[in-house]
Amino acid sequence: MDEKSLDILKILEDNARASCEEIAKMLNISEEDVKKTLEEMEKSGIVLKYKTIINWEKILEDYIYAIIEVKVTLSREKGYDDIAKRIAKFPEVHAVRLVSGEYDFQVVVKGKSLKDVAFFIAEKISTIPEVRDTVTHFVLRTYKEEGVPLFVDEEDRRLALVP
């Protein structure tokens, strides 16, 4: 990949709303060149989606996020990719990652309540024949998402200790 394409990606990663005109001015290239490069990257699967980061805690919509560690048993017929693709098809699943360590996958799930997430695990994840074990962690608060801090620096209200 050439440097121009990488520069376009870096700009979009930081600001998905940047227009082709703005990107062209920033990189001192033609707007048509930016459009063509983006079209090629979209077609080849390099650029998959343009995304907005939302601080859900600031609005009335309540969602529960859970991180589920999943341990699986592999067979000749079913490898990691096959199991991951099956898990990824569920609409509740936001991310599936193959990880190192005691568990094989990290699955991020979004639900309306603890009960929704619990039923999802019991009725969908645990019923997959290759799944041996799961551990669920409920997200209590998110401080940073996709590299963006979700908090406002507040004054430290703790009392200073005087020696």
Tell me what pLDDT residue 108 has: 96
156 has pLDDT over 70: no
pLDDT at 154: 63
Token pair of 107 as six digits: 């699955």
> Where in the sequence is the domain holding 97, given as residue range(s)?
56-145
Same domain? 33 vs 83: no
Q: In terms of pTM, does the model score above 0.75?
A: no
In a domain, residue 68? The reply is yes
- Residue 49 in any domain: the answer is no
Three-state secondary-structure class, residue 111: strand
Mean per-residue pLDDT of the chain: 90
Domain total of the chain: 2
Q: Residue 130's pLDDT band (boundaries 50, 70, 90)?
A: very high
In the structure, what pLDDT confidence band is assigned to residue 153 with cuts at 50, 70 and 90?
low
Closest CA to 132 of 68, 74, 73: 73
* Same domain flag for 63 and 19: no
Give residue-wise pLDDT tens across range 51-76. 887 777 777 567 889 999 999 999 99
- 65-71-73-79 Cα dihedral, nearest 10 degrees: 50
Asked if residue 130 and residue 84 are part of one domain, the reply reads yes
Residues 85 and 131 both lie in one domain: yes
CATH code of the domain covering residue 141: 3.30.70.920
Residue 157 counted as domain residue: no
The answer to the question of residue 158 being in a domain is no
* pLDDT value of position 141: 84
What does the pLDDT look like over 15-47, one tens digit per residue?
889 999 999 999 999 999 999 999 999 999 999
Q: Verify that 98 and 125 share a domain, yes or no.
A: yes
pLDDT (0 to 100) of residue 155: 65
Strand arrangement of the beta sheet that strand 131-138 belongs to: 93-98, 105-111, 64-72, 131-138
Specify the CATH number for the domain of residue 31: 1.10.10
Does a structural domain hold residue 94?
yes
Answer whether residue 87 shows pLDDT above 80: yes
Question: Per the domain annotation, does 133 fall within a domain?
Answer: yes
Examine the domain organization and report whether 36 and 70 are in the same domain.
Answer: no
